[in-house]
Amino acid sequence: MKALLLHPGPGRLLRFISTAGAGLILSFMSPLYGQDDYAAARESMVKYQIEAEGVTHRATLAAMRKVPRHLFVPADLKSHAYRDMPLPIGYDQTISQPYMVAYMTQAIKPVPGMKVLEIGTGSGYQAAVLAEIVDSVFTIEIVEPLGKQSATLLKRMGYTNINVRIGDGFAGWPEHGPYDAIIVTAAAEEIPPPLIAQLKEGGSIVIPLGRPGSVQTLVKATKIKGRLERKSLLPVRFVPFVRD
């Protein structure tokens, strides 16, 4: 189960969506959008799933409108690419629901000139959204075939400011640090010390914290005078932080 959001938006029930749950929902729902109307689908996604749920950061909204999410999902799921749910992408992984991607992006307050580290490349979608805003993205994926697949896709799409590395994200990517912000897309019980060390003074890390299999808390931790000041954001459920 990946990027499960347990956040109630206006007029909505709690979202309890897993990979299996998403498959069940898909089996009962007909495609919402035509295959040739992706731009309109993205606009609808942003308006009704993201803006309506409280995301206001203009650059994040613009990136969500621009990045073609349907290119990051399997061909047989393209008609579902702009629904507010995670979708399976192979290797027991999923692409997070659009709201979660937008929310985590907004949380780091991205602006041009920033250098961001992402732990957990997955489909590459979050990296692409970040790359539309910041100067450079360094992203690490532990599942080798998935990391290679995402790196190929991002290169083909023309993203020259995204660097993909295959490996254990616990140690970060110190050669390119320090980073203005770090986004982690897997749950850990504590923030890995190497990531804290690679975070710039005044920078923030957004990470789900909690035990595997339980409800976790999405936390934003900002480095102030070498120490982290933490703020709890949302109850979520992510897969555990996997190490080699």
202 Rama sector, left if φ>0, alpha if ψ -120 to 50, beta otherwise: left
CA 228/CA 244 separation, integer angstroms = 26
SS3 sequence of 97-119:
CHHHHHHHHHHCCCCCCCEEEEE
Q: Which two tokens stand for residue 229?
A: 């000041």
Q: Does the active-site annotation cover 44?
A: no
Side-chain half-sphere CA neighbours of 173 within 13 A: 23
CA distances from 61 to 39, 49, 54, 73, 175 (A): 14, 11, 11, 20, 31
Q: Which of 18, 27, 96, 136 is catalytic?
A: 96
What phi, psi does 26 have (nearest 5°)? -60, -35
Active site residues: 96
